[in-house]
């Protein structure tokens, strides 16, 4: 197979973890006879500094010619003013909107080797393997708003249509069919009209999937259940804001934000793959960032955009083997003196791939 991958390393630790993921993809290509070519482009704060635009037109053009995009992280203190007219996160929203990447897939898996690093009791983590399916291009992040919120009033509008809910619901139900056959749909239907539309639409879609069990869960209750009984959940379907918050909450089940990958996909095979963590400017340039989330994002790229399921599993197994043998970066190391840097941890993963 031949594939073109655009990398958007971004800001902070983004370039460091993206480089690790590229090394893994290169080794996968070499071992399995695939030819992956990489083109780097600007996005985020670094793009603002270079062009005044967090997502330059030339970056979009490069992505349009690619099979997939591997993204690092964007943002940092330099661009953190929420009232600024141009901000790094605007690039993310524009990228998702331009390619209609309406489905964000966030797997959350609790690794037995890391149970001691999670704040929950180890027995609560047994069997935890959740897939969050988050609607990504609608809802409150994209609805009509008072842009700057100046004065004594501001508003953001949670807006959904039946079509928007239907398509993300089908992604969740299709995923559940390949997993344990359960969907938990998250809403706030007892208060919000948009969420009542969400609930009745998801229920209508469920009729096409009699083999999948559906439950409706209010978002506040879901936040509690995810910590009290996380192994109960299989696929969690949520809107843009609720999915963002809940999937970040459950990162503690994996021990660190540095463990969790994500995929943003649409109707075709093109997708954007990125760790869910931020740019971590406090450790940028120190070579100590955890590359696991970026490497696992590369595995999702292999699976969803390139159709290379076996290769994706190989990468995931290499990461799990690396953790099982005791390799730890600083964020998941009980003894800081034993922590591996980004490159050293990546070398361990590459060794298992080999």
CATH code assigned at 201: 3.40.718.10
Give the model's pLDDT for residue 57.
97
Task: Give the active site residue among 100, 129, 156, 248.
Answer: 248
* 83 has pLDDT over 80: yes
Pull the structure tokens for residue 158: 């949670």
Note the pLDDT of residue 148. Answer: 62
C-alpha distance from residue 242 to each of 137, 187, 237 (Å): 13, 8, 9
pLDDT exceeds cutoff 70 at 54? yes
Q: Is the pLDDT of residue 37 over 80?
A: yes
- Clarify whether residues 124 and 175 are in a common domain: yes
Helical ranges in 52-161 per DSSP H: 57-64, 88-98, 122-125
Q: Mean of the pLDDT values across residues 260-274?
A: 96
Backbone torsions φ then ψ of 345, nearest 5 degrees? -65, -40
Question: Exposed/middle/buried for 134, CB within 10 Å: 0-12, 13-18, 19+?
Answer: buried
Q: Are residues 345 and 269 in the same domain?
A: yes
Assess contact for 284 and 256: CB atoms under 8 A.
Answer: no
What confidence tier does 292 reach under pLDDT thresholds 50, 70, 90? Answer: very high
DSSP assignment, residue 63?
H
| 217 shares a domain with 323 | no
Indicate which residue of 188, 208, 286, 331 is catalytic.
Answer: 188
Question: Residue 266: which residues within 8 A CB-CB, separation 6 or more?
Answer: 99, 100, 101, 102, 103
Residues 210, 133 within the same domain: yes
Of 230, 254, 278, which residue constitutes the final position of a domain? Answer: 254
State pLDDT tens for residues 159-208: 999 999 999 999 999 999 999 999 999 999 999 999 999 999 999 999 99
- Number of structural domains the chain divides into: 2
Same domain, 34 and 141: no
Alpha-helical regions (H) of the chain: 14-32, 45-51, 57-64, 88-98, 122-125, 162-177, 193-206, 219-228, 240-249, 292-304, 309-324, 342-353
Residue 114 inside a domain? The answer is: no
Residues 216 and 129 both lie in one domain: yes
Active site residue 208: no
Answer yes or no: do 176 and 231 share one domain. Answer: yes
Q: What's the rounded Cα separation, in Å, for the pair 274 and 50?
A: 22
CA angle 69, 70, 74 (to 5 degrees): 110
Task: Please tell me which residue in 160, 244, 273, 331 is annotated as part of the active site.
Answer: 244
Which are the contacts of 319, defined by CB distance < 8 A and separation ≥ 6?
292, 295, 296, 299, 349
For residue 236, which of 309, 180, 192 has the smallest C-alpha distance? Answer: 180
User: Is 100 noted as a catalytic residue in this protein?
Assistant: no
- Indicate whether 112 belongs to any domain: no
Q: What is the pLDDT of residues 204-220, one digit of tens each?
A: 999 999 999 999 999 99
At 293-334, the pLDDT tens digits run 999 999 999 999 999 999 999 999 999 999 999 999 999 887
Within a domain: 192: yes
The pLDDT score that the predictor gives to residue 291 is 98
Q: Do 168 and 247 sit in the same domain of this protein?
A: yes
Confidence bin at 146 (pLDDT 50/70/90): low
Out of 234, 254, 274, a domain closes at 254
Inside any domain, residue 76: yes
Decide if 167 contacts 102 (C-beta within 8 A).
yes
User: Catalytic site residue 335?
Assistant: no
pLDDT at 147: 61
Domain that holds residue 71: 1-107+261-354
Task: Identify whether 198 is part of a domain.
Answer: yes
**pLDDT of residue 337 exceeding 90:** no
Q: Would you call 53 helix, strand, or coil by DSSP? A: coil
Out of 49, 81, 220, 282, the active site residue is 220
Residues 198 and 75 placed together within one structural domain of the fold: no
In the sheet with 213-218, reading across from the earlier edge strand, the strands are: 35-40, 2-10, 68-73, 271-275, 261-265, 103-109, 129-135, 235-238, 182-187, 213-218
> Which residue in the list 141, 160, 209, 273 is annotated as catalytic?
141
Q: Are strands 261-265 and 271-275 parallel, antiparallel or unpaired?
A: antiparallel
* Residue 113 belongs to a domain: no
Q: Is residue 89 situated within a structural domain?
A: yes
Task: Give catalytic status of residue 220 as yes or no.
Answer: yes
Tell me, yes or no, whether 227 and 288 share the same domain: no
Boundary residue ending a domain (192, 226, 254): 254
Question: Quick one: 97 and 217 in the same domain?
Answer: no
CA distance to 40, 79, 111, 298, 332, per residue, from 74 (Å)? 15, 10, 27, 18, 23
Q: Is 182 a catalytic residue?
A: no
**224 CB-near residues (< 8 Å, 6+ apart):** none
Separation of alpha carbons 139 and 314, rounded Å: 36
Distance CA 308, CA 310 (A): 6
Cα 189 from chain centroid?
Answer: 26
Q: Are the CB atoms for 36 and 301 separated by under 8 Å? A: no
Residue 206 lies in a domain: yes
CA distance 262 to 276: 6
Does 165 lie in the same domain as 85? no
Q: What angle do CA 160, 64, 88 make, to 5 degrees?
A: 60
């Amino acid at each position: 197979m031949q594939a073109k991958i655009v990398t958007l390393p971004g800001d902070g630790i983004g370039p460091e973890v993206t480089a690790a993921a590229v090394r893994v993809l290169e080794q996968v290509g070499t071992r399995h006879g695939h030819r992956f070519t990489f083109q780097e482009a600007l996005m985020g704060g670094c793009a603002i500094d270079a062009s005044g635009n967090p997502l330059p037109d030339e970056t979009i053009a490069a992505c349009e010619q690619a099979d997939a995009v591997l993204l690092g992280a964007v943002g940092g203190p330099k661009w953190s003013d929420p009232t600024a007219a141009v901000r790094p996160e605007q690039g993310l929203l524009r990228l998702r909107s331009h390619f209609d990447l309406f489905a964000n897939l966030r797997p959350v898996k609790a690794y037995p080797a890391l149970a001691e690093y999670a704040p929950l009791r180890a027995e609560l983590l047994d069997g935890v393997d959740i897939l969050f399916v988050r609607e990504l291009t609608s809802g409150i992040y994209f609805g009509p708003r008072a842009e700057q919120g100046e004065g004594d009033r501001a508003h953001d509008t949670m807006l959904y249509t039946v079509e928007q809910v239907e398509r993300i619901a089908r992604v969740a139900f299709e995923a559940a069919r390949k997993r344990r056959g359960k969907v938990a749909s998250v809403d706030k239907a007892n208060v919000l009209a948009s969420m009542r539309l969400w609930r009745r639409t998801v229920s209508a879609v469920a009729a096409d999937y009699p083999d999948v069990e559906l439950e409706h869960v209010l978002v506040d209750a879901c936040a509690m259940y995810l910590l009290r009984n996380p192994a109960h959940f299989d696929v969690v379907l949520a809107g843009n804001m609720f999915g963002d918050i809940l999937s970040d909450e459950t990162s503690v089940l994996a021990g660190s934000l540095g463990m969790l990958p994500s995929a943003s996909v649409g109707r075709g095979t093109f997708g954007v793959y990125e760790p869910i963590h931020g740019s971590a400017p406090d450790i940028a340039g120190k070579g100590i960032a955890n590359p696991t989330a970026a490497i696992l994002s590369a595995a999702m790229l292999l699976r969803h955009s390139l159709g290379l399921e076996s290769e994706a599993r190989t990468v995931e197994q290499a990461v799990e083997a690396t953790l099982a043998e005791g390799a730890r970066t600083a964020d998941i190391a009980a003894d800081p003196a034993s922590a591996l840097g980004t490159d050293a941890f990546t070398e361990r993963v590459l060794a298992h791939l080999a």
